[in-house]
Structure 1
Amino acid sequence: MPVETPELELQSYLRLNHASSREWLSAVRLLLGCASIECHVAGNQARVGALSAIDVEGGRIACLYASQDMDISGCQAEGPVLVVPVEGHVEASWDDHSWWPVSPLLIMHAGNRPRLRLGEKSQVIILKPAPGVVPAPVGDEPNRLISEIRHLVDNYLFKAGFFFNDQHARALTTELFRSLGALLGNGGRRHIPECLKLDRRLLRVLDRFRQHPEWEFDLRGLAAHCGVSERNLYYLMKRETGMTPYRLFQRYRLIRVRWRLVDCTCDIPHISTYAADEGFSHLGRFAALYREHFGELPSETVQWRRNLCADAKSPQDRAAVSEVTK
C-alpha cells in the first residue's frame, strides 16, 4: 500500500515526503535557489514536511507543506517573489516582533528579508519568476490587483490537479508566469476569469480515486457511483478537466508510486515493487508512462533524492541543522 501523504498542491511534482529537517532544508534551498534560507522547527526533527516543485523557463513554483510549526527565514529576494497560503495558518514578519496573517498573498520585493511562520499542517505556494519576467511594482499594490493575482494562482492550482502530462504541466506553468508578468506590468488591467470549480459529481470521482487505492477501474461502476451514465461521465470529465476517467485513474496510480519513491522514511526505494502494487506489470511500459507524466524516469526521481541526501551531509548543512535543533 502507498505511504500516507497530505493532499499536496502540485503533487505530481512531489520531491520529498516525510522529510527530515536536514532533507527539507536542503531541498528548499535547492528548489528556491537561495542558499541562505534557514528553517527552525521546535518539534520532531525526523518528519517536518513535504515539498513539490516545478521549474520552467519563466520561473520556479514550489509547494511547501509543514507537518508541524516552523519558521523560515534568511532568504533575500532578488526580484518579486509571491507567497500564497493555500491551507492552514501562515504568518509573516519584517522585524521579528510583529506578525500578521498572510492573506490572500504576500509579494516580496528585491531586498526584502521577511520571516515566514507556517502552522502545523499548513501549505504555502512560492512563486519565484525568472529575472525580467515580472516587473517589480512600485509602491503598495492595490487590493484589486492582489485579488486578481490570487485568482490567477487559484485557477492554475485547479488546473494543476488535471495536468495531462509533463508537457501540459510545463505549458500551463509557463503561461502562469507570462500572465503574472502581464498583470503586474499592466497595473491589474486584465480580465481574470472566476475561480474554477469542479462539478459535485466529479468530486465523487476524485474521492474514489484518492480514498480507495485498491479499487480497480470500472467505468460502469464509477458512473453509477456518481449518478450519471457512462457516456455523460466521460463527456463531463473531458469538458471540465480535459481528461478521460481512465486517464485520471492512471495518473493517480503513477502519483502514488511517486509518493513512495520520495518517502524519506524508506532507505531503499523499490521501483518495480511499487509499480506492481499499482497494477503496472510491464516495467518498461511503466517507466515510459512515468516519464510522459512527470518528465523524468522513476530512477531519476530516486537519484534526485539520493543526491540531495548526499549534499545535506555537507559541513554547511550540518551547521544549519545544528541551529535548527537548538
Structure 2
Amino acid sequence: MSATRRLLTLCVTVPLAALFLLVLAAPAWAADAGKDEPQIVLTGQVVVPAGQTVGDVVIFNGPATIDGTVRGSVTSFNGDVSISGTVTGDVTSFNGDVTVASGARVGGDLVTQSAPNVASGATVEGDRRRVNRDVIFGRFTWISRFAVWVAVSVSILVLGLLLLLFAPRAAESVALAARERIGPSIGWGVGLFFGLPIVSVIALVTIVGIPFGVGMLLGLALIYSLGYTASCFALGRALIKPPTSRYLAFLAGWAIVRVASLVPFVSGLVWFVAVVYGLGTLAVAARRRETMVGVTAPATMPPPPPPVPA
C-alpha cells in the first residue's frame, strides 16, 4: 500500500472511530457526570441516580430515567422518560411515553406527544400540554426548502460562471437564439424536455441500450441544469445588452429567476419554463453553429492565362 493511500485510510478511519467512541461513551458520561453538568446523549440512555444532581438533560434516542435532581429541563426526542425525582424546569418529550411517579416534582411545564402517566402523588407546577408537531415540522419543512433553494442557487451560479469563462461565444449565441428564434426554441425545448426521458426509458427495455438509458437518466439533472442556466443568461442579456459585461448580465438574470423561485405556487412553473426554453435555445444555437461551419466559401474562378507573346 502506498503512502498516499495509507494517509487517506487514516484520514477516513480515525474520525469514524472517534465518532463511534463518542457515541458509545455518551451514556457513560451521563451517568458519571459531576454536579450541575448538562447531559447530552446522542443514543443510549440517561440515568440520574437518587442523590445525584445534574444540569439540563438532552437525549436524542433512548430512555431517560430521573431518580435524582435535574437543575434545568429534560428534553427527549425519541424514547421513554421516567421521573421519580425532581426536575426544576420543563419536561419535553417529542416521541415516547412519559411517567411521573408519586413523589416526583416537575417545576416547569410537562410537554408530551402522548398523554403522560402522572401519579396522584406527583407534582407538576407548570402546564400540561401536547407537543405542537404541526408547527415544529412546518418550520423544519420551511427551513429544508430554503436550504435546497440556497444549494440550487449556488449550483446554478457556479455552473453559469464556468460556462461564461470557458465558452463565452457559445453563451452569446444562446442569448441571440433566445431573442431571434423564439418559436424554434420553444419547440426544441419541449421536445428535448419530454423526449430525453422517454428515449432513456425505451433504451432500458433493450439489453444493448441499458448503459445508454441509465447514463441518460443520471445525466438528466445536469442537462436540465444547463437549460436552466442558459435561460438565466438569456434573460439577463435581454435586459443588459452588449457591450456590458456578460457576467453582469448573467447575474441579473440569475437573481431574477431565483427570486421568482421563492414564490411557493410559482416556483415549479418558473423551473419548467426556464428548463424548456433554455434547452431549446441551446439546441437552436448548436444547429446554427453547425450550419455556419458547414457553409464553405464558393470556389473562385482561376485567373485567365497570360497572353501568348507574339
TM-score range, shorter chain: under 0.3
Higher relative CO (Cα under 8 Å, sequence separation at least 6) belongs to: 1
Structure having the larger proportion of residues in helix: 2
